[in-house]
Amino acid sequence: MNNERSEPSAGAAFPYQQGPRDWLCQTAGAAAPSGGSEPHEVGSVGALLGCIADDFTGATDLANNLVRAGMRVVQAIGVPVAPLDAPADAVVVALKSRTLPPDQAIAQSLAALHWLQAQGVQQVYFKYCSTFDSTAQGNIGPVAEALMDALGTDFTIATPAFPDNQRTVFKGHLFVGDALLNESGLQHHPLTPMLDANLVRVLQAQCRRKVGLIDHRVVAQGEPAIRVRIEQLRAEGVGLAIVDAVSNDDLMHLGPALKGMALVTAGSGVAIGLPANFGITPMSRSGALPSASGYQAVVAGSCSLTTCRQVAAFIQTGQPALRLDPLQIAAGQAAGGDMAAADALAWAEPLLGQGPVLIYSSADPDAVQSVQGQLGADAAGALVERTLAAIARGLVARGVRQLVVAGGETSGACIHALNITQLKIGAQIDPGVPWCHAATNAAPGQGLHLALKSGNFGADDFFSKAFKCLA
């Protein structure tokens, strides 16, 4: 690995000496029990971009885009308690803060910021979902403003645009494919129902600062026009601006205009235009991971329409699938006999040698609403997460070494249950979802191939396609 780097002069492009290297996405230390840590003085190896992601799949998605754009990336699971000990151009801190109460999400995000500042980062990137998942209370707005306050900056941008995954912003409105956000199925999200596609309006409801818009006509003119518009908005007292983007060209126009901006808030799409600001360019690489072996399985907790279609497509192939019923799990626990995970593993064990198996709790909006009505939204979500995490660990104990996990909350629970301490990023399966490789004591020896899929990402045949990519 060639890690030689010269330090940039103030305001200069970052001179970067590239060579063969491993592309490693790893934890920099164990997370504190709260998911955060107190600010402290630590050493630094000079990371350039410090990223705070509000869930685990989003963190991997962002790390993947940065790696593909040429950056060396270190990913931390929770806020580390130790300094960075490997050379990196970008550090991604993966939190599980998207659906926490705003004060808790802010506290964790600020803890991540303090740690990143101790690593010497030059720019901070707050990453959220490409469907802007949040409620009227947050957490996108409150976290963004808390980071602005801490960084002493009066302006930042916000855009979840990710055209490669059919997330585009036009005249401030978010589209999922050809549908407005609130007509795309996301209006039925069990935790963050998105009822308005107007992101200026959505973000303004969460912020005390004024929210404005940098529209597509400005973006199409490139960096100079975008910078002029930013200064206009600042003069008008605007603190945050939604940015239109309907193509990767728009994101590449936006990238240079963000050079030197203390804080960027976005989905993962904006990441493709930032590495060049530091003098880093994409390099050809294979994304090679260790050879895959062992059994194959899918654990799906997301109830997004995309994941539900993927579940249906997998079942149509004739592969074995088992649906978990949250009400039955709750009833078993109430009776003092929580056997849901054990029963699922007993079902799966004789089938593993025949090909991939699927265990899922994904359901249509009406079914989800019915369960939430009986158990409560938070209780139902936590119940399913704990069960799927126990199942994931049990599957790995039974020889599964290729595991797909669908859903951000589910992925976070499974990562912790499997005691994952590092992830090496491999090739994409679909935009935003790479295969990774983890060394963990849950899978001694060859380790575990793992794909953490956002609920809303991937083609309908994603589950079957994923395993073909490793064949």
Q: How large is the average pLDDT for residues 281-288?
A: 64
Q: Is residue 6 included in any domain, yes or no?
A: no
Q: Is residue 361 included in any domain, yes or no?
A: yes
- The verdict on 256 and 304 lying in the same domain is no
Which pLDDT belongs to residue 204?
A: 98
Q: Is residue 17 included in any domain, yes or no?
A: no
Q: How large is the average pLDDT for residues 401-423?
A: 90
- The verdict on 227 and 364 lying in the same domain is no
Q: Is residue 15 included in any domain, yes or no?
A: no
Which pLDDT belongs to residue 208?
A: 97
pLDDT for 91-150, tens place per residue? Answer: 999 998 998 999 999 999 999 999 999 999 999 999 999 999 998 899 999 999 999 999
In terms of average pLDDT, the best of 339-353, 370-384, 425-439 is 339-353
CATH number, domain containing residue 65: 3.40.50.10840
Which pLDDT belongs to residue 285?
A: 57
Q: How large is the average pLDDT for residues 297-308?
A: 94
Residue 177 clears pLDDT 50, i.e. is over it: yes
- The verdict on 162 and 252 lying in the same domain is yes
pTM: 0.77
Q: How large is the average pLDDT for residues 9-28?
A: 31
Which pLDDT belongs to residue 71?
A: 87
- The verdict on 230 and 301 lying in the same domain is no
- The verdict on 155 and 196 lying in the same domain is yes
- The verdict on 317 and 434 lying in the same domain is yes
In terms of average pLDDT, the best of 68-77, 228-237, 411-420 is 228-237
Which pLDDT belongs to residue 27?
A: 35
Residue 455 clears pLDDT 80, i.e. is over it: yes
Q: How large is the average pLDDT for residues 17-42?
A: 32
Q: How large is the average pLDDT for residues 18-27?
A: 34
Window from 148-162, 214-228, 274-288, 296-310 with minimum mean pLDDT: 274-288
Q: Is residue 49 included in any domain, yes or no?
A: yes
Q: How large is the average pLDDT for residues 149-167?
A: 97
- The verdict on 384 and 338 lying in the same domain is yes
Which pLDDT belongs to residue 11?
A: 29
Q: Is residue 8 included in any domain, yes or no?
A: no
Window from 102-116, 220-234, 357-371 with minimum mean pLDDT: 357-371
- The verdict on 50 and 163 lying in the same domain is yes
Q: How large is the average pLDDT for residues 372-381?
A: 85
Which pLDDT belongs to residue 369?
A: 85
- The verdict on 168 and 299 lying in the same domain is no
Q: Is residue 385 included in any domain, yes or no?
A: yes
- The structural domain count of the chain equals 2
Q: How many angstroms separate the CA atoms of 29 and 269, rounded?
A: 27
Residue that terminates a domain, selected from 231, 248, 278: 278
Which pLDDT belongs to residue 7?
A: 31
- The verdict on 164 and 254 lying in the same domain is yes
Give me the chain's average pLDDT, please: 87
Q: Is residue 11 included in any domain, yes or no?
A: no
Which pLDDT belongs to residue 236?
A: 98
Which pLDDT belongs to residue 151?
A: 98
CATH number, domain containing residue 406: 3.40.980.20
| Residue 299 structural domain | 295-470
pLDDT for 48-84, tens place per residue? Answer: 999 999 998 899 999 889 988 888 888 888 898 888 7
- The verdict on 180 and 316 lying in the same domain is no
